[in-house]
Amino acid sequence: MNAPLVFLPGWCLGRGPLNVAVDALGGTIFDLPGYGDAPLITDFAAAADDIAARLPAGATLAGWSIGAQLALAVAARHPDKVGRLVLVAGTASFVQRDGWPHAMPPEMLAEFTTNMLADPEAMLPRFVGGFNRGDARAKEVTRQLLDLADPRPPVDVLAAGLAWLRDVDLRADAGQVRCLTLLIHGAADPLMPLAAAEALAALIPGARVAACADCAHAPFVSQPDAFLATVRTFLNE
């Protein structure tokens, strides 16, 4: 019997875009802090600990984008809780830092944060369209993600997630992960470059990358059949 599968969503969009894939895999979704009925936890480490407290021992933990960062932190901090780890469009650091060039310049994130918090309704379609640039199905994937997105969380919840993207650096945590780890990453992801996934995988003992050609930041929507096949193969190894 496979271990229970728990999936952590990405920033702003909620669980809606993931529902079809997670249902097909027989998994469940944990809302990010502040989304749905989950209380807002602004401290990243405390949020990871809260997720770990609700996970059954030996679970398969998966996450998309910022959810992948949380999943990575849970696996590093609570190795008894995570038997396998799936990071979809994951990275150790969302912004560029010394020794980590595979990311967004900090000033670009700062500008986006200012604009997003000032007018979320106008910025969300631009954000989603932007992270699908380079995808062979960019317009359709953008439309699907916006259609499937949960109701937008409050601005303070969005701000907390953006602060995580600015501040969190998980390079040291990555070396503490001891479970089987798969990174699924769009080869054309403009938000988190494939080089970021490859660099992160090199920090996690035994991790490997499954790159999706002609795919950007949301492989479970862009290439759903291939995504499900990749995850199922990993879960059954």
Catalytic site residue from 93, 185, 217, 222: 217
222 is catalytic: no
Q: Among the options 65, 173, 185, 222, which is catalytic?
A: 65
Catalytic residue at 65?
yes
Catalytic residue among 93, 135, 173, 189: 189
The yes-or-no answer on residue 93 being catalytic is no
Give the chain as a 3 state SS string: CCCCEEEECCCCCCCHHHHHHHHHCCCEECCCCCCCCCCCCCCHHHHHHHHHHHCCCCEEEEEECHHHHHHHHHHHHCCCCEEEEEEECCCCCCECECCECCCECHHHHHHHHHHHHHCHHHHHHHHHHHHCCCCCCHHHHHHHHHHHCCCCCCHHHHHHHHHHHHHCCCHHHHCCCCCEEEEEEECCCCCCCHHHHHHHHHHCCCCEEEEECCCCCCHHHHCHHHHHHHHHHHHCC
Q: Which residues are catalytic?
A: 65, 189, 217
